[in-house]
Structure formats: structure tokens, C-alpha cells
Amino acid sequence: MQTFTLTVLAIYSRYPHAAAGKINHILGVPPRMIRHERKFLGDNGYLEKDENLHWHITQAGLQALKNFDRVKAAENARFLKEASEIAAGALGADKDELSRFTLMDKGMTNDSYVFFCRGKKYIYRQAGQGSEMLVDRYREYSNYLALEGRGISDVVVYHNPVSGTKITEFIEDCSSIDIDNPRHIELALQALRNLHSADIEPPHNFNFLKTIDYYEEICHNMEAELFPTYRKYRADVEQLLEKVAGLNVPTCFCHIDFVPGNCLLTKEGHVVLIDWEYSGRQDPIVDVAMFCISAALNKAQSDRLLKNYLQRKATPEETARFYTYIATAGLMWSLWSVFKTANGEVFEGYTERTYNLCKKYSKLAAEIFEKIEKVGENDK
């Protein structure tokens, strides 16, 4: 049950005569939202009316409140008050024209809520705990400005780069792609090709080593312990990136966080890309590598995804770049996860998995680069 629903239930357990207006005065939350939660509680047997039409908590309601955290509830009420004020202002509406604010997704970096205003559905994105240390919201803001009107991304109606709060139009009848569905994968890759071929000037570059340096710094500030072999693999990644830099690879606007959860399949059958916090100029193959990491694809599946993106067999040079990016991003995301863990959020197995990708693919990339160099020497 939602924390706010429990908050309303807790108030009625103390004040059975309370009207939605009184609770609105206590919490500062629109009465319509309160009435919606009260109806839910009544329909599901947590509240019932007596002959005087006063609400009373039932045994089921008492049981639901058994482990109720009043501190968390107070925090949730404060969030809803602030969110409803921001949403109303952004949409030019009265607060009582808003309803629901239901948690839709508690992600690795952000929390997303669904709410309604004047019958239309929106998503309210709240920056997650510690995300201000990991995400450059001004980068995200400028990326959305560059993408505006392109039909590639979701539609933003409010964006505050200071707080990280964002409101977007809800895409009806959409879902995240299914990584086991070949059609979904091809639609996502087509969306990626469309992005890479679009004439959009990236507002920023994405630099792996600068990001890794920064993540190292914030991990150090949190006194977080890195892997014992971290320095070795950091050095290996640097050498690989030097080799890639020598290839003078063409770059373009890349998503960087191209993962299954950021690929929304619409009812019309095309994929919209969301969450542009990391986006910037890079080698387009970086995006394919990021997808492989997030989807936990094995080597054979990853090789096939690269081939499908390119729509042909990858050259040895492209494969070496691809493996370099999986290794480098694996190292980068493992640092990200170390910081999140030190900050109290644990994603079971993620730190080890991404670090192991760095170990595995840095070796594979080095082997391919060595073969390429030997071929070059023999041709001289």
C-alpha cells in the first residue's frame, strides 16, 4: 500500500469525523487526492462508514497500520504537498485539479510518479537520494532542449535543473521493451540509429575518464572501499582508450544510458528514448555497449547485438572499440554502484557484475588490438 494511502488511513484512525478539507489543511495535499485514497480504503475494507456517515477504521485497517512509519509518512506528505504545488504551477492549474500521484517506478537514480491533471496523465520525476552527486541535471536540461520537437524523446512540460524535478507527458499504452523479443530489439536499435544519424549538435561531450575520475573522488569522500585490483584495471582501461583515440572515430549525439528501461515501445510500434542525464557526443558504438551491460547479455548475445546495430558483420577495429567500451563502462558503473552502496542503496550483485565485465572485456579488447597491430606490422 502506498505511504500516502496509509497516511490518510492513520488520520482517519484518529479523526473519524475528518473531512477531506480538514486533511488538506493538515497535509497541504489537494482534497481530490485525499478523496481518491479514502475511496480506495473504503472499497478495500480498510475504512467503513457508520450510520452517521462517519468513517471508522476496520480490523483490516488496524492491521495495515501495524508497522506504519509515521516519520516516513510525514516525509511523504511533505513531498506530495511540494509536488502538487510544482505540478499545478507548471500546468497552470489549481491544486484541486490534480489527482493520484502514485509511485510508478523506484529507479536506480530517480523515483517516478503518475498523476492526473484535467483528465490528462503525466509523470512526475523526483531525483533520487544522492543523485545530485551522480547526475549533471544541467546536462540533462540542455540535452532535452536539443531534442525538442524531434520525436526521439519524451515530451517535457517542466524541468528544474537545480532540483532535478521533471514533468513529462505520459505516453499511453507504452511499455519497456522485452529484451527476449527480437522485434522489440530491432525497434530499439532503429530508434538508436535515428538518433545517431540526426543532425543534432550535442550540447556536451561524454568523457569516460573524466566521469571515472569524478566517481573515484566521490567514493573517496564517502570513504568507500574500491576493489583491491581496481588500479590495475583502471590502467588497462586507460591504455585501451588511448588506442581508440588513435583511430579518429567519427562521433555523434549518443544517449549513453541506452538501456532497456529507457526504451519505451509505443502502441504505434516505435520506440521513444527517455532519461537523457548522461547524453553527449561519443562513438555511437558506446550506446550498444551500454545496452549489453544493462541487459546482462553474454558475449555471443553482445556480438550479435553489435552486428544487428551495424546491419553487417563488425570489423576487428569496431569489435575492439566495442569491447573497450564494455570494459570502460563496466568500471565506471561499478564505481557508481560503490558510491550508491556507501550512500545506503544496494543493488544486489550489480557492483561485482559490472566490475567483472571490466576484467573480462579489457582482456578481450587488448587481444584484438594486439592482432590488429600485428597485421599492420606485417603489411609494412
Q: pLDDT, tens digit, for every residue of 217-271?
A: 999 998 999 999 999 999 999 999 999 999 999 999 999 999 999 999 999 999 9
Spatial CA neighbour of 118 closest among 96, 103, 102? 96
Provide, rounded to the nearest whole percent, the portion of the chain with pLDDT above 90: 61
Give the separation between CA 196 and CA 200, rounded to whole angstroms.
Answer: 9
pLDDT grade for 111, boundaries at 50, 70 and 90: confident
Residue 148 vs residue 33, higher pLDDT: 148
The stretch 106-134 carries a mean pLDDT of 78
Predicted pLDDT at 10: 80
Predicted pLDDT at 380: 56
CATH topology of domain 3-77: Arc Repressor Mutant, subunit A (1.10.10)
Residue ranges per structural domain of the chain: 3-77, 102-169, 175-379
Give the separation between CA 63 and CA 48, rounded to whole angstroms.
Answer: 15
Report how many helices (DSSP H) and strands (DSSP E) the chain contains, helices first: 13, 12
Q: Over the stretch 303-328, which tens digit does the pLDDT of each residue have?
A: 999 999 999 999 999 999 999 999 99
CATH of domain 175-379: 3.90.1200.10
Residue 378 pLDDT exceeds 80: no
Record the cell numbers describing residue 378, joined without a space. 606485417
Q: Report the 3 state secondary structure along 95-151.
A: HHHEEEEEEEEECCCEEEEEEEECCEEEEEEEECCCHHHCCCHHHHHHHHHHHCCCC
Predicted pLDDT at 215: 94
- The architecture in CATH of the region 102-169 reads 2-Layer Sandwich (3.30)
pLDDT grade for 31, boundaries at 50, 70 and 90: confident
- Least reliable range by pLDDT among 20-29, 48-57, 118-127, 181-190: 20-29
pLDDT grade for 107, boundaries at 50, 70 and 90: low
Predicted pLDDT at 377: 66
Residue 8 vs residue 236, higher pLDDT: 236
Predicted pLDDT at 144: 95
Provide, rounded to the nearest whole percent, the portion of the chain with pLDDT above 70: 91
pTM attached to this predicted model:
0.79
- Tell me the CA end-to-end span of the chain in Å, nearest whole number: 70
Give the separation between CA 118 and CA 128, rounded to whole angstroms.
Answer: 28
Record the cell numbers describing residue 347, joined without a space. 543493488
Record the cell numbers describing residue 292, joined without a space. 549489453
pLDDT grade for 41, boundaries at 50, 70 and 90: confident
Q: Over the stretch 278-289, which tens digit does the pLDDT of each residue have?
A: 999 999 999 999
Q: Over the stretch 329-343, which tens digit does the pLDDT of each residue have?
A: 999 999 999 998 888
Predicted pLDDT at 36: 79
Record the cell numbers describing residue 186, joined without a space. 530491432
Residue 155 pLDDT exceeds 60: yes
